[in-house]
Amino acid sequence: MKEKTIRIGMVGILDGLFLTFSLYISAILTQNNSVIIPQFSNFLIIALTIKFGLLFITNTYNTLWRYASVEEMFKISLANVISNFLTFFILNLINPQLTTGFAIVNCILDTAFTGGIRISYRAARRFKNYNIPADGKNVLIVGAGDAGVSVLREYRGNPRIEDKIIGFIDDDVLKQGTYINGYKVLGELSELDKLVKEHRVQEIIIAMPSVEPDTIREIVNECKKTKCKTKIVPSLSNLIDSKDLTKQIREVEIEDLLGRDPINLNNIEICGYLKDKRVLVTGGGGSIGSELCRQIANFDPAELIILDIYENNAYDLQNELKRKMPHLNLKVLIGSVRDEDRMEQIFRKYRPQVVFHAAAHKHVPLMEDSPREAIKNNVLGTLNTAQTADKYHVEKFVLISTDKAVNPTNIMGASKRLCEMIVQSINKASKTEFVAVRFGNVLGSNGSVIPLFKKQIASGGPVTVTHEKIIRYFMTIPEASQLVIQAGAMAKGGEIFILDMGEPVKIIDLARDLIRLSGFEPDVEISIEITGLRPGEKLYEELLLNEEGIANTTHSKILIGKPGDLDYKILLRNIALLKQALKDVNTDIKEVMTRVVPTYHPASNSNENMAAPVVQATEEISVTSENN
């Protein structure tokens, strides 16, 4: 604030001096000196009052002139025209002998002087940037469009940036050899390596926020060949909305290569069920749960209640939300969804109206070795939370599910399928709207493949991939969370919503991309090792198998499966038998699960002990073709 006041004061003093000089010279040039000079001090006070007033009204003194453009010059010209018209009108009332020529010349000189001060400032800063400091870098911009020009303007005008822009490269033949604000389009992408060497480029900025991911991948691969540091402008919307572009230019991330379209939410629909409501998020400290909390907080809930069994995650999220949203009514609780007394206590005290159930064990290999824990936490925890929600008349209950619940071959997927069956069946017996939202892998979640690959790369490799042909669906954590919230707004009860995950990604290609982003060449500097599929792991995951049970929703990225005909009482009987089997360590718990979840087919079954007979609950929903 102090620097701004000093800057405005200095410009104001210069304006005052030049406007005074302009008034005096105009009088002489138009032979009005005999009229003006005798009353110069009086005329000057009137003129400066009007002219400074118009300059302030048009926000001239709040403009950052290092970014000055035609629009800013138009504003200052308009201020001078209006102020000189008013000045001439008032001075002419005092002395009618003033000529019109005086007003015209005075207006021209005022515009030249006040505009010249500001343009000179911008020109001086631009000249400074032509001389690269010793600790600055030569920077090349890929993309000579609007985003590239915005990067150029920021680098030229930001006093904190000591780097020097060398020029642009762009594949548009019409731009080849042309100049943009004095900087040349030096060539096309195929010439990148040559141009980097010629101009001693040390950093490349990709400023093409609207191109396809395949194009970004191609550009990144070319950039990595040069060994230059590579950064990217993430999105055009951020460019428009932010005043400081340098805070948005960042390292290239895997999300840039996968390419996910921005999510358009129906905020009115979402506010209808979240605003001024008490919202509980179980597993709120996890990857998805924490992002759900961040997103929900934006919709002004009456109270946000976060429940997690891990205190460190919950504590970190609590500090983050309190810092960013000090007015948020936030409660952070520690407890397990398996603990009936604790859940009863929470629901009785806080009376949540909306519940997002994200608490779950999710790691496939770990759960294969601890199947009982998967069932206790996922199945019994969901049943306990759902029944308590029903008891306390929660308005809406949203279960976070997974694509591994479709035709599961592992216990984690089978447990999540049973969770879906619980919420579908209890929905028929409850006034609460119970729904499930199913999606695939999320980028960067705790324990997921991307953080693992990054650790392996940082340690020098090898990067381990279980199979050359293994593929997975991916979306970002914010994207998944936003769509879950949107699906909750659409829910009527009993549905399974399936999120559009886009195109599947080969994990081995993902590994190669991450290696390149880290500055190494895959299979040369960092090796990739094929380790074989883990127990319960599929080559590919299924979000759905046929389209007969699929219906579109009002959102292009959310599909809906028709509710299945599930009998809640029969399902409870089966779960009771499952609970009994959990107590007997000699019982093959996976065998029991195959009877409760008919579509569960374990990849291997080492225990041949027969389980207690289980009654078929009913058919699965048609969206997953689990009866076929």
Does residue 60 share a domain with residue 23?
yes
Q: Which of 98-107, 200-209, 319-328, 615-624 has the highest mean pLDDT?
A: 319-328
pLDDT band with cut points at 50, 70 and 90 for residue 381: very high
Does residue 247 share a domain with residue 164?
yes
Tokens of 67: 């970014």
Domain final residue, candidates 128, 146, 172: 128
Does residue 392 share a domain with residue 532?
yes
Query: Can you give the length of the chain in residues?
Result: 628
Q: What letter represents residue 191's amino acid?
A: E
Per-residue pLDDT, 611:
39
Q: What mean pLDDT comes out for the span 308-321?
A: 95
Does residue 465 share a domain with residue 319?
yes
Per-residue pLDDT, 340:
96
Instruction: Judge whether residue 529 has pLDDT over 50.
Output: yes
The catalytically annotated residue of 231, 404, 416, 590 is 404
Does residue 237 share a domain with residue 274?
no
Which of 399, 398, 396, 400 has the alpha carbon at shortest distance from 431? 396
Q: Distance between CA atoms of 161 and 477, rounded to whole angstroms?
A: 32
Per-residue pLDDT, 628:
32
Q: What mean pLDDT comes out for the span 598-622?
A: 51
Question: Residue 402 falls within a domain, yes or no?
Answer: yes
Question: Residue 623 falls within a domain, yes or no?
Answer: no
Average pLDDT, the chain: 83
Question: Residue 529 falls within a domain, yes or no?
Answer: yes
Question: Residue 603 falls within a domain, yes or no?
Answer: no
Q: Is 404 labeled as catalytic in the residue annotation?
A: yes
Q: What letter represents residue 532's amino acid?
A: G
pLDDT band with cut points at 50, 70 and 90 for residue 621: very low
Question: Residue 626 falls within a domain, yes or no?
Answer: no
Of 105-109, 456-460, 501-505, where does mean pLDDT reach its minimum?
501-505
Per-residue pLDDT, 325:
94
* Domain enclosing residue 327, as ranges: 267-596
Does residue 221 share a domain with residue 148?
yes
Question: Residue 615 falls within a domain, yes or no?
Answer: no
Backbone angles phi, psi at 205, to 5 degrees: -115, 120
Does residue 146 share a domain with residue 69?
no
Per-residue pLDDT, 542:
67
Domain final residue, candidates 104, 128, 152: 128
Does residue 492 share a domain with residue 348?
yes
Q: Is the backbone peptide bond immediately before 462 cis, with ω within 30 degrees of 0?
A: yes
Share of the chain above pLDDT 70, in %: 85
Q: Locate tokens 């600055």: which residue?
A: 136
Does residue 151 share a domain with residue 57?
no
C-alpha distances (whole Å) from 121 to each of 51, 125, 148 are 21, 6, 23
pLDDT band with cut points at 50, 70 and 90 for residue 149: confident
C-alpha distances (whole Å) from 194 to each of 169, 188, 190, 202, 554 are 12, 10, 9, 13, 50
Question: Residue 612 falls within a domain, yes or no?
Answer: no
Per-residue pLDDT, 612:
40
pLDDT band with cut points at 50, 70 and 90 for residue 609: very low
* pTM of the predicted model over 0.95: no
CATH of the domain at 450: 3.40.50.720
* Burial (Cβ within 10 Å: 0-12, 13-18, ≥19) of residue 69: exposed
Which of 478, 480, 397, 477 has the alpha carbon at shortest distance from 438? 480
Q: Beta-carbon neighbour count of residue 287 at 10 Å? A: 21
Per-residue pLDDT, 318:
97
Q: Distance between CA atoms of 290 and 314, rounded to whole angstroms?
A: 8
pLDDT in tens, 543-570: 654 443 677 777 777 888 766 678 899 9
Does residue 158 share a domain with residue 100?
no
pLDDT in tens, 101-140: 888 888 888 888 887 777 776 666 555 555 545 467 899 9
Domain final residue, candidates 253, 285, 301: 253
pLDDT in tens, 226-257: 888 889 887 654 444 445 566 678 888 877 77
Per-residue pLDDT, 291:
94
Share of the chain above pLDDT 90, in %: 37
**Residue 626 CB partners (closer than 8 Å, separation 6+):** 406, 407, 417, 598, 599, 620
Does residue 144 share a domain with residue 122?
no
Does residue 143 share a domain with residue 124?
no
* Burial (Cβ within 10 Å: 0-12, 13-18, ≥19) of residue 312: exposed
Q: Distance between CA atoms of 580 and 614, rounded to whole angstroms?
A: 12
Could you give the number of structural domains in the chain?
Answer: 3
Q: Which of 8-17, 37-46, 277-286, 612-621 has the highest mean pLDDT?
A: 277-286
Question: Residue 87 falls within a domain, yes or no?
Answer: yes
